[in-house]
Amino acid sequence: MKVVDLRRGSWRYDERIKYLARRGEVLSEEYEETVREIIKEVREGGDRAVIELTKRYDGVDLTPETMEIPFEELERAYEELEEGVREALEIAEERIRVFHEKQLERSFISEEEGSLLGQKVLPLEKVGVYVPGGTASYPSTVLMNCVPASVAGVEEIIMVTPRPGKYTLAAAYIAGVSRVFQVGGAQAVAALALGTETVPRVDKIVGPGNIYVALAKKLLYGTVDIDMIAGPSEILVIADSTADSSWVSADLLSQAEHDELAGAILVTDSDRIAKEVVGRVYELLEGIERNEIAKKSLERFGTVFLVKDMSQACEVANIIAPEHLEVITEDPFSLLPYIKNAGAVFLGRYATEPLGDYILGPNHTLPTGGTARFFSPLGVYDFVKRSSIIYVSREGFDRLSDLAINLAEAEGLPAHALALRIRKS
């Protein structure tokens, strides 16, 4: 991990801060051309291209007949779950559903003199959900992405995931997924966005993934809607001298093990905590199975920032705009008003990020790479669309038409004015 001292006047210009704040852009520059080529191949080749790309990148042999996993396999995976895992998944599903039901929007109609104005809220018809796979299994991601879609009333939920294990398939069964295709990477995103002979075209694609998946979503936005450009995971921990350095180190590793491109950042005003965490991270690293992945992540993006005080710590966090922000301080709630940019904020020493990943209820599909400046966590609002409803009576027309004619003429649009005047005769 790199240690950077920001206790000086020109700290905002520090190259490490700029590097981490631009992390998503830096990664995009490295991989974008490859993803463009993958999309082009799928656009031109359909199923054949998806199968060839899956063989090339994932080493998996597929045919058009084996791309889709029969629904019976989902049910079988559920029935074969160990009792403890089944209980955890079912309780998680219930907690996620209850939390997201509070986000439901309602249609409305309001009446004023001579008109009825309103909004109609409708669920999307067909949504694609990307669930990472291959190096790890993510049944929690299935629940976090599919349950809000179900709460919103989406008619058909299409899931894509590379080499799915039984826990992923069982979670799909619990969450009410309609169809599952065992393809991943940028080619899976392209297949959902463009449609192939076997994979249906969807209205929107949601779900996290690696940099290839994130870039495919970015490049296909407009052809299909997306939730956000969610790339490799990241965590930023604000800690003061009251924090336990072992706990902080473990939390940093919880994200570093996700991906070689994941980010793990500590911001502290304590020299002792900074020193202890740097040492403890590497001690704990040796005891985790995915230590090679985590080690590469720490070498590239692992950072400890030393700051003057907690005010500066919040400023650093707001510039980096992390996916996960933990506040492990003596009074974490006192910092909350000053935190502006974060996908999810975990307050206090026991609010460890993995609890949010699995069981608390708020969504764990969050903006990464600095996009928490303008993106929000995935929610029910991502799975609906809105139409404006407008009725105008003669009385209402007479009350407003002259005003509209004045504006049409001011904008130099005579046909607009004509459409209004012709109704006045």
Q: Residue 268: its pLDDT value, please? A: 98
| Of 186, 249, 164, 147, residue with least CA distance to 39 | 186
Please check whether residue 181 is in contact with residue 160, taking contact to mean a CB–CB distance below 8 angstroms: yes
46-88: per-residue pLDDT in tens?
999 999 999 999 899 999 999 999 999 999 999 999 999 999 9
pLDDT attached to residue 421: 96
pLDDT at 22: 78
| Distance (Å, whole) CA 6 – CA 394 | 66
Q: Please report how the helices 394-410 and 414-421 are oriented relative to each other, as an axis angle in degrees rounded to 10.
A: 160
User: Which residue(s) pair with 2 in the sheet?
Assistant: 303
CATH 3.40.50.1980 placement within the chain: 2-24+232-373, 46-229
pLDDT band, residue 263 (cuts 50/70/90): very high
Cβ neighbors of 184 (< 8 A, separation 6 or more) are 54, 58, 130, 132, 133, 134, 160, 161, 162, 163, 209, 213
DSSP 9-64: TTGGG-HHHHHHHTHHHHHHHHHHHHHHHHHHHHHHHTHHHHHHHHHHHH-----T
Please check whether residue 290 is in contact with residue 259, taking contact to mean a CB–CB distance below 8 angstroms: no
pLDDT of residue 209: 83
For CA atoms 417, 419, 420, 423, give the dihedral sign: positive
pLDDT at res. 135:
59
- pLDDT on residue 388: 97
* Residues 379 and 402: beta-carbon distance below 8 Å: no
pLDDT of the residue at 383: 98
Question: What does the DSSP 8-state code read for residue 380?
Answer: G
Active centre residues (catalytic): 323-324
What distance in Å separates the CA atoms of residue 406 and residue 409, rounded to the nearest whole number? 5
State which CATH number among 3.40.50.1980, 3.30.420.40, 2.70.210.12, 3.30.70.120 fits the domain covering 46-229: 3.40.50.1980
Q: Give pTM, 2 decimals.
A: 0.89
96-134 per-position pLDDT tens digit: 999 999 999 999 999 999 999 999 999 999 999 999 886
User: DSSP secondary-structure letter at 268?
Assistant: E
Helices (H) and strands (E) in the chain, counts: 16, 15
Quick one: tokens of 374?
Answer: 């303008």
Residues 226 and 175: their CA atoms lie apart, in Å, by 20
Q: Does residue 25 surpass a pLDDT of 80? A: no
Separation between Cα atoms, residue 269 and residue 243, nearest integer Å: 11
pLDDT in tens, 413-424: 999 999 999 999
Instruction: Give 229's pLDDT tier (boundaries 50, 70, 90).
Output: confident
The per-residue pLDDT for 136 is: 65
Q: How many CA atoms lie within 13 A of 374 on its CB side?
A: 2
Question: Quick one: pLDDT at residue 27?
Answer: 60
**What's the pLDDT at 377?**
95
Q: What's the chain's average pLDDT?
A: 94
Provide CATH code, domain 2-24+232-373.
Answer: 3.40.50.1980
CA distance linking residue 283 with residue 274, whole number of Å:
15
* 287's tokens: 């005891």
**Of 5-9, 29-33, 225-229, 306-310, which gets the smallest average pLDDT?**
29-33
Of 138-147, 227-236, 263-272, 316-325, which gets the smallest average pLDDT? Answer: 227-236
pLDDT at 338 over 90: yes
